[in-house]
Amino acid sequence: MKRKLEVSELIFKIISYVFLTIFAICCLYPFLYAISAAVSGREAVEYGQIVLFPKDLQFEAFANMFTNNMFWNSYTNTLFVTFYGTIWAMLVAILGGYALSKKRLLFRKGFNFFLVFTMWFSAGLVPQYLNYLSTQKVFRAIGIMDDKWLVVIAMGMAAMNIILLRNAFEGVPSEIEEAAIVDGATELQVLTRVYIPMSKSTIATVALFFAISRWNGYFWARQMISNLNEHPLQVFIRLKLEEFQDPDIMTGWNEAYAADSVIYALIVCSIIPVLIIYPFIQKYFAKGVNMGGVKE
Reported as a single tens digit per residue, the pLDDT across 75-112 is 999 999 999 999 999 999 999 999 998 888 888 888 88
Average pLDDT, the chain: 83
Over residues 132-150, mean pLDDT: 74
Contacts of 72 (CB under 8 A, 6+ apart): none
Specify the 3-state DSSP secondary structure of 31: helix
Taking a C-beta distance cutoff of 8 angstroms, is the pair 43, 56 a contact? yes
Q: What is the pLDDT of residue 78?
A: 92
Q: What is the pLDDT of residue 81?
A: 92
Per DSSP, 295 falls in state -
pLDDT at 34 over 80: yes
pLDDT-above-70 percentage for the chain: 90
Specify the 3-state DSSP secondary structure of 52: coil
pTM for this prediction: 0.82
Domain annotation for the chain: domains and CATH numbers: 69-293 (1.10.3720.10)
Q: Tell me which of 10-24, 46-60, 268-282 is least confident.
A: 268-282
Per DSSP, 205 falls in state H
Q: What is the pLDDT of residue 79?
A: 92
Quote the CA–CA distance of 234 and 269 in Å, as a whole number: 11
Reported as a single tens digit per residue, the pLDDT across 195-205 is 998 888 888 88
Quote the CA–CA distance of 129 and 32 in Å, as a whole number: 37
Over residues 21-36, mean pLDDT: 91
Query: Is residue 72 very low, low, confident or very high in pLDDT (cuts 50, 70, 90)?
Result: very high
Quote the CA–CA distance of 135 and 132 in Å, as a whole number: 5
Quote the CA–CA distance of 133 and 227 in Å, as a whole number: 15
